[in-house]
Amino acid sequence: MKSILPVAALLALAACSPAPAEKNAATPPVVAAPPATAPKPPRADIPAGDYTLDKSHASLVFRVSHLGFSRYTAAFADFDAKLRFDQNNPSASSLEATVDPKSLTLPHPPAGFVQQLTGPQWLNAATYPAITFKSTKIETTGPDTGKVTGDLTLHGVTKPVVLDVTYNGGYAGHAMDPHARVGFSAKGAFKRSDFGVAFGVPAPGTTMGVGDEVEVTIEAEFSGPPLATAPAAAKP
């Protein structure tokens, strides 16, 4: 069928074409100019500077495979972050974050389960009371996307981890929120065994246990420099 269509189209064009004399007398067709690309709206004028985490609008969630049957989901409730932000020069930006492993939050945990996971076999929070991340490189991959490479310190081990980040936008501030505000979504993954947390990792070729790969999902808003005050009214 596909091979017949081009032939039929050519025959139809030939039947509709004018005779040779008519072609010479015909007015040359006018070729329309391609439509101009609409300019993108300018970005909001977000000031560069130091930004602090708005903890009431932030979440830190992680997932691991449970027996291969589900992606077990948990979170940390207590964490903080500091952002040096420059919208016009992302490579000059930087991020530092700290997580309290004792703030592990689980869905309907059995008695003693939280203590087990924060104990010596897993996070060992008594010996390693903080999980930290410090950026070493920030690069853009699109108009609103980028990669943040940083040193993750977990269970006393420091290794590089990459976060895929989406910049959700922001504003310079307004009357009800007189500070600049920006928001981000981020995802990343790492192997917990690389950080010395290998208890329960399934044997090769099986899923009987808790997966080695940890998927991390972050939502965060940051509050920045104060909104510039309006100029004082001129005195009469």
> Which residue in 106, 65, 60 sits closest to 191, CA to CA?
65
Q: What pairs with residue 80 in β-bridges?
A: 98
Predicted local distance difference test score (pLDDT) of residue 228: 79
Q: Where are the alpha helices (DSSP H) in 17-62?
A: 20-25
Per-10-residue mean pLDDT of the chain, 236 residues long, equals 36 38 48 50 79 98 98 98 95 97 97 97 98 97 97 98 97 94 98 98 97 98 86 51
Alpha carbon 80 to its chain centroid, in Å, reads: 17
What are the residue ranges spanned by the domains of the chain?
49-226
CB contact at 8 A, 124 and 115: no
What's residue 43's pLDDT? 62
Does CATH place domain 49-226 in 2.40.128.110? Answer: yes
* CA neighbours closer than 13 Å in the CB half-sphere of residue 59: 10
